[in-house]
Amino acid sequence: MTPPRRTPPDLPATALEFLKSALAAASEPHRVVFMHAPPHLDGHYAPHAECGFRQGEPEFLDIIRRHRVELVCCAHGLAFDHHVHDGTRYVMSGGGGSGLYASYPGVLGGAPAAADRAAVFHAVQITITDRGAVAGRVLEAFAPEDGAPRITF
């Protein structure tokens, strides 16, 4: 039996207004946005189109660009994903113990070269320097404790 496809989320106008006003009032030089679902990003999350929202996406991306947001952290998708779009880094970290996307390569039979998208139970450690440089690593569940992380950005 094929599981039902989830409907892509929407980003309500009230959320866009909140984001715009919060970023306009922020005095911090480096901006990070945490949210549930990522934007669609030209179909980046295929074959899981339900990961990214389309309603409100142009307005969202404009706000992110205008306020020089350097990092957007999201969940919603049942995997790890890392992507840079228009100069902003997007990190999707989802799963929460749920079944993962077997179609994302990296762990469940995928090629190691595609490890920036991985169906893996994980947590993400992100470092932001004083100058705004963003780096991260994926802490995989069940990985050997002494092993170096397979996925870094």
Total domains, the chain = 1
Q: How far apart are CA 95 and CA 37, in angstroms?
A: 13
What is the pLDDT at residue 112? 46
Domain at 94, CATH number: 3.30.750
Given this model, what pLDDT does residue 106 score?
55
Specify if 99 maps to a domain. yes
What pTM value is reported for the model? 0.85
Residue 117 covered by a domain? yes
Cβ-based burial of 70 (10 A; exposed 0-12, middle 13-18, buried ≥19): middle
Q: Judge whether 146 lies within some domain.
A: no
Instruction: State the residue range of the domain holding 45.
Output: 29-140
Percent of the chain with pLDDT over 90: 49
Distance CA 71, CA 111 (A): 27
Confidence of residue 5 (pLDDT cuts 50, 70, 90): low
Residue written as tokens 């669609």?
Answer: 40
pLDDT value of position 23: 98
Q: Provide mean pLDDT across the span 3-17.
A: 75
Cβ neighbours of 11 (radius 10 Å) = 19
Q: How far is 109 from 140, CA to CA, in rounded Å? A: 16
Residue 108: inside a domain: yes
User: What distance in Å separates the CA atoms of residue 30 and residue 107, rounded to the nearest whole number?
Assistant: 33
Task: Note the pLDDT tens digit of each residue in 81-138.
Answer: 998 999 999 999 988 777 787 777 654 444 444 556 787 888 999 999 999 899 999 8
